[in-house]
Amino acid sequence: MRAHRFVEPTPTGAERVEIVVAGWEIECCAPPPVVGEPTSWMLEFQPGDADLDHEFAWDATRWDERVTCLRRGPVTAYWAFGAGSPPAPGTAVLRGRLCGTVHGGISPDGFPACRGRVDRVRVLSQRYREVTERTWEGVPGTVAAVDVAQSPRWFHGGPLDGTTSVPFGVLVDVRIESGLPGDRPG
């Protein structure tokens, strides 16, 4: 899989962002992304060092007393709840991924949405291994991405046997149209 940057120029001069959307988001109530269609997501930054993670400099500020806001060009994301201590205000070089959500209650109230047009959709799958009885984790280095014209509505799992790749979500490239305070997903 070719490594992408979170924000990169497209041929039209617009900005593009790569967003991981969990299968459960789409199975629950998020509209499945379709290439060429408009889309809108609140973005959560999840720190990490996994297959889909990238390193970038972000401007960190306080959104409110409990939320740290990260900005990079037209992209605005909030620091994932439960992901450890957020960066202090100022410029921070962080490694992780942007995850899209449309669900209230797991994202900060009033947080700006990232709006744009879908340039690319890839179904993500990974092999999983059992770490304790009935507890599974993704096998590092086994994430695969397959280009599709639109996201599936349902993500049918496969056997969690360590050898079979199981679909878990999509990777969506979005050409940014906005991400300003007051924008709401929809």
Per-residue pLDDT at 144: 93
Residue 81 maps to a domain: yes
Q: According to the model, what pLDDT value does residue 178 have?
A: 54
Within the chain, strands assigned E span 7-9, 15-22, 38-47, 54-62, 68-72, 75-79, 90-101, 114-126, 128-132, 135-138, 144-148, 166-178
Cβ proximity of 33 and 118 under 8 Å: yes
Residue 19 is part of which domain span? Answer: 7-121+169-178
3-state secondary structure of 28: helix
Asked, for residue 142, whether it belongs to a domain, the answer is: no
- Cα 32 to Cα 172: distance, rounded to the nearest angstrom: 10
Q: pLDDT at position 3, please?
A: 43
Distance CA 23, CA 150 (A): 13
Q: What angle do CA 116, 7, 86 make, to 5 degrees?
A: 105
Residue 162 falls inside a structural domain:
no
**Quick check: 15 and 8 in contact, CB under 8 A?**
yes
How many residues does this entry show for the chain?
A: 186
pLDDT at 79 (0 to 100): 93
Domain count, the chain: 1
pLDDT digits (tens, 9 = 90+) for 129-183: 888 888 888 888 999 999 999 999 999 877 777 788 899 999 999 998 754 444 4
As a whole number of angstroms, the distance between CA 124 and CA 43 comes to 18
pLDDT at 22: 93
Give a yes or no: residue 14 inside a domain. yes
In a domain, 160, yes or no: no
Neighbours of 117 (CB within 10 A): 17
Q: Note whether residue 36 is domain-resident.
A: yes
CB neighbours (10 Å) of residue 100?
Answer: 28
* Residue at 129 is within a domain: no
| Confidence at residue 134, expressed as pLDDT on a 0 to 100 scale | 80
Q: Which residues of the chain have pLDDT under 70?
A: 1-14, 104-106, 178-186
Structure tokens at 17: 């962002």
What pLDDT is stored for residue 177 in this prediction?
Answer: 73
In the DSSP assignment, the letter for residue 34 is: B
Q: With residue 40 as reference, give the H or E element that holds it.
A: strand 38-47
153 falls within a domain: no
